[in-house]
Structure 1
């Protein structure tokens, strides 16, 4: 329910399907299915977020819920039949260079195995030993007040006045992307509760919430960091929906 709500919330905000999928931590094909089901249920893009009732989201969930007895869909089953070949392409050898996922996707399509890039990427990483190359991409800053980067840093040890024990202290650092204005929240833990408490303090400091938060793959926020399809904590998505901001996880390398 939370995942569907997040997809539709981002779609109603006018974002494209690629960005909608990233914000919700799903692949683009899944986001497209959610949107199509919502439109079939009567949701129009000019409607406000108040149109996302529990009844509407429930209808969408029932319409798109896949039958996956083994935890994977039909595309994954198709790839299992080509696992040995994909592994050979990924590893290279005997004078052959390792192939990229894009090239492997093309070769599989020639053999009649057509799957999405994201599914193929996950399959190659989980079963075939693929490790993406580390890359650096320069990006342009957005508008003031739109994006805020969030990350933890270790501050050292302090004596807890309540227990008398020395405890490790973490700093949750919020950095406005354009102005680089920063807010630091100290905490003894790196839990979701601690992150949300830091966010609430940051909104008071900045005078409001940013439209987009960019967490550097904080474990309480991003439960499964991935270069293509990161998975966001459901509790975090629920909080983001409550406040009204989007989440854009930082990209990771190999």
Structure 2
């Protein structure tokens, strides 16, 4: 036996189903492709909307829903879809599991989902009866330029032919019943269009980053080695651990990186971020001369190439203390010697406090190795050369 189910409250329920139509030209691929119709049917008024697509992905279903809300002027409180793979992750007659993407969109739009059971077309009879009607009355025998042309004509067909027909069961025109009794009861459409996100399971690597859409995003070190759920839309990337929000980053293009300094170990953050100012501040905390010495090292066209020298200088502060390094840097600055290796040698020898000897005064007479200016005279050099040649036989004898 068959029991007819009541239509329910006006503006409350809408049944949804995919239907295979036929071939439509796709200018992107330059060939004819199979087109599908996502059919929305208001349960109370039987007013309907068709969304045409070449695919049955989550993006296609959400795009159809967004177009339906614009067509109807609002959102139905309950959607009754078939067991579409973008919507249902695990089918069950009592407790079905929805995909993460569909749950996210349903929360955004504000409707509930009551899916039909597997192989139970009577759970959504209003939309099931419309499949053959769409195929025979709208699509059959028509010639469409492309999918966009077919979509424009489909919406016009829904408003006029399908919307103004005299329905066999209700004995009324669906568009008129919808306008009179359902349109004012729909939920308000979302204020902003839905940006379809990417959902992905990601692993936190040893470098404190995860990869989403070929871009890197930092995560606190406590999550290294764990798997998180990433939600990435056009603006933000959100990382969740068991439903709890862990981190939020601005979306980066492929090849980009977003790193929060707070996620990295403090002793490695400056090097990873090439934060020269942080190293200079650390050097100044050890002493004035140490800070000036670090600044002198960074006075270069490629300052980050000098970071290892300053890191070594700060290491000497931790090893010998700030006082000895301050004295050694002061002596090196006085002599204008810019070498951390020299600072290390002074500290190892304990000579950082030995005063610098004053320069020796120049000798009053000629120096030991001073040369006679006449030796630079070309004629004098030639004479000495000849003289040496003449004396050579005597020396050899």
TM-score (norm. length: structure 2): 0.29
| Higher alpha-carbon Rg | 2
TM-score (norm. length: structure 1): 0.45
Q: Which has the higher contact order (CA 8 A, sep 6+)?
A: 1
